[in-house]
Every structure is written in structure tokens, then in C-alpha cells.
Amino acid sequence: MQHSQAQEAHTVTIDPVGDESRQAWNDFIASHPLGSFYHLYEWKALNESVLGHSTDYLVARDKLGTIQGALPLTTVQSRLFGRILCSVPFVNFGGPVAAHTKVASRLVEHAMVLAEAQGANYLELRCASPLDTTLPASLKKVSLTVSLPADPEALWRSFSSKHRNNIRRAQKRGLEVHSGRLDLFNDFYSVLEESWRDLGTPLYSPKYFKTILAAFGEQTRVFVCSLGGEPIAVALNGYFNGTVEGMWAGNSRRSRDLEANYVLYLEMLRDACARGFNKFHLGRSTADSTGEQFKMKWNAEIAQLYWYFYRPDGGSMPDLNVDNPRYRRAIRVWRRLPLWATRLIGPQVARLIP
């Protein structure tokens, strides 16, 4: 079997594809267990037209022209981080999707050559499972996923009594949750920009999120938790292949005292159950962080994420995280800026932070 796979991998051809291959790309992603919402072809145009980055969406085809592997790559160039070839930037994970391990290795090798040809400072592959490679990997990020029963009440019963009491306490405060799409966009963005400013993180432009909602249509959903008509906690989710992807979320300072996230997350999980999804991916977290602890309350299972790096110059892995002293001062300054200032300059900075 291994010999057969090696032969198949050796005979595949790897080429970049354009819009004519969109449906074939998405069909292959949908057929593979590692294919995710973040691998869908629509992200290519988003990163190109809205964020202004170049992309190379690679497919490996066999002799019959059948797709055996796919690797979405985006080049992000900034003065702060250098030139980065990444699969995939700005979202939770990506990496190669392939019918065989050897085909995945061929795609990785091709990406390494591409990084060298582009003069990239490094190649970054954000993977939800380990690759058969000698490339070094950062293990600082984990993924947390809730398995969903068909019955929302079974989900409720699966929580600990302490967690159910926390949810009930928050529910008694009169919080309401609504879901929609562009009709809730203004509420969503107003809360998100305050939340991300308080975290010290630049936020993408309204156009970026609106384009996501337009490009993916019914595969996306916005949730807004409000008190007395005031939005205080929000989320934007993606829906694909039985899995809900929690992509962006935020909450106002007021929501923290009201514990609004307990009500928001319960309603999102119940909605996913009722709509027949079997997994809710709560996004990535730094290992042992407060974010990880909150997600664990929902019976989320932890899975290691593997962020592989290749430096054409042979240097060490980059230390791109909020604990790096190089970035701490910038984060502190950002937190003190007024919203009008972060709204003005945030999108130009956010598009350069992969």
C-alpha cells in the first residue's frame, strides 16, 4: 500500500488553479475528512480583492486529471512580519488536504520551493493534524470542538450542574439572542470593534466581513446577544460538512459582568443541534489560556494544532505571539486608543497580521 501511494504521489502534477476550478476544488474539499470551511475556494477572492494579497491555490492531479490534493496559499507581506507564505492566514487553520500522505508531502515540498522563489521570509502551514514532515512545528495552539447530539435537550443534560447553574443565572438577567446575516451586521461589528480594541488587536474592515457574508451566503450566520435592545456579545459562524466553525466573536465590557457569553454560546449550540450539525468548532485557543478554560465548560474536546514553519534562509522559527515582548508594548498602546482611531487605522494593520 505504501509503495502504491508513493507511486501515485510521484506521478501527480501540481499546478495553481483559477476560478474555472472553483467547483472541482470545493467538491474535493467536501469529500475529504480534513477539508474545512477555511479550505473553501471563496477565501481566495476574499484575500485578493478585499485584503490585497496574492494567492496560489495549488492542486495535485493524477494522470486522469482527478484532484488528489489541494493546498491554499496566501502571501502576506508587511514591514512588521516580513514576507509570509501561509496556509491559511487570518483564520483558525488550513494546511494541505490530500488523498494520501505522500501527496500531502508533495504539496508541502512544492510550497517550500514556492517560498524560496518568492523570497519569502518563511512558509507557515497551519494544520489541524500532523504532517509527515521534518519541518519544525509550533504546538502553542489547540482546537476545541463540541460534539453535538441531535436533540438540543440532550446537549443541555450533558453539561455539569455547575455549568447549567451559571447559564441559568445569566438567563435570568433578561438577555436575548437573535441570529441573522447582514440584517444584524451593524450590531455585530460595533461590539466586535470594541472587544478587539480592548484586547489590543486591530480589526478588519466592515467590507471584509460583509464580503464573507455575501460570498458564503447561507453557510454563514451572525448571532447577537442583547440586553434591552443593546448588543453586548456577538459571533460570526461558518457552516460546512456537518461542522460549525466559530470564526469571530466579541463582547462589550458590560457583557462580562452579565456573563452574556453563557447565553450566547448556549443558543448557538442549540441552533446547530436543531439544524442537524454534529460538531461545533469553538475556534483555536492558546494552550492553558482563559479562553480554553471557558470552552472546556461546554464539554469541548481538545485537539493539538500543528503550525509548521520553513525558513528558506535556515533561521529559527519566528516567535509570533502576544507573549513576545516585541509586541506587548504595541498591544498596551492599542488598548488605550479611542475607537475612532482604531476604526481608522485598524483595517490597514489587521490585513498585515496573518
Residues 105 and 120 in one domain: yes
- Is it true that the peptide bond before 88 is cis, omega within 30 degrees of 0? yes
Has residue 339 been placed in a domain? no
Q: How much of the chain exceeds pLDDT 70, in percent?
A: 94
Residues 218 and 104 in one domain: no
pLDDT digits (tens, 9 = 90+) for 275-291: 999 999 998 887 767 77
Residues 93 and 20 in one domain: yes
Has residue 354 been placed in a domain? no
The answer to whether 153 and 122 are in contact (CB under 8 A) is no
Residues 243 and 219 in one domain: yes
What is the helix (H) or strand (E) element at residue 142, kind and residue range?
Answer: strand 141-147
Residues 176 and 121 in one domain: no
Q: With 70 as the cut, is the pLDDT of residue 10 above it? A: no
pLDDT band at 169 (very low <50, low <70, confident <90, very high): very high
> For the chain, what is the domain count?
2
Has residue 344 been placed in a domain? no
Domain boundary among 258, 276, 302: 302
Q: With 90 as the cut, is the pLDDT of residue 166 above it? A: yes
Torsion of CA 276, 278, 281, 287, to 10 degrees: 160
Residues 24 and 152 in one domain: no
Least confident of 26-35, 110-119, 251-260, 287-296: 287-296
Q: With 70 as the cut, is the pLDDT of residue 323 above it? A: no
* Structural domain that includes position 160: 143-302
Least confident of 46-55, 227-236, 284-293: 284-293
Residues 274 and 135 in one domain: no
Mean pLDDT of the chain: 92
Q: With 70 as the cut, is the pLDDT of residue 319 above it? A: no
Residues 169 and 265 in one domain: yes
Residues 150-163, mean pLDDT to the nearest whole number:
95
pLDDT band at 4 (very low <50, low <70, confident <90, very high): low
Residues 172 and 105 in one domain: no
* Confidence (pLDDT) at 197: 95
**Rounded Cα gap, residues 208 and 284, in angstroms:** 21
Has residue 326 been placed in a domain? no
The answer to whether 90 and 270 are in contact (CB under 8 A) is no
Write the CATH number for 291: 3.40.630.30
Q: What one-character-per-residue DSSP string does 292-341 give?
A: HHHHHTTTPEEEE-EEEEE-TT--PPP--STTSHHHHHHHHHHHTS-HHH
Residues 90 and 215 in one domain: no
* Confidence (pLDDT) at 320: 64
Residues 157 and 261 in one domain: yes
Residues 233 and 147 in one domain: yes
Residues 165-185, mean pLDDT to the nearest whole number:
96
Has residue 87 been placed in a domain? yes
Q: What one-character-per-residue DSSP string does 212-272 give?
A: HHHHHGGGEEEEEEEETTEEEEEEEEEEETTEEEEEEEEE-HHHHHHTHHHHHHHHHHHHH
Q: With 80 as the cut, is the pLDDT of residue 11 above it? A: yes
Has residue 342 been placed in a domain? no
pLDDT band at 111 (very low <50, low <70, confident <90, very high): very high
**Rounded Cα gap, residues 141 and 308, in angstroms:** 12
* Confidence (pLDDT) at 7: 53
Least confident of 23-27, 185-189, 328-332: 328-332
Has residue 315 been placed in a domain? yes
Has residue 162 been placed in a domain? yes
Give me 287's grid cell. Answer: 494552550
pLDDT band at 90 (very low <50, low <70, confident <90, very high): very high
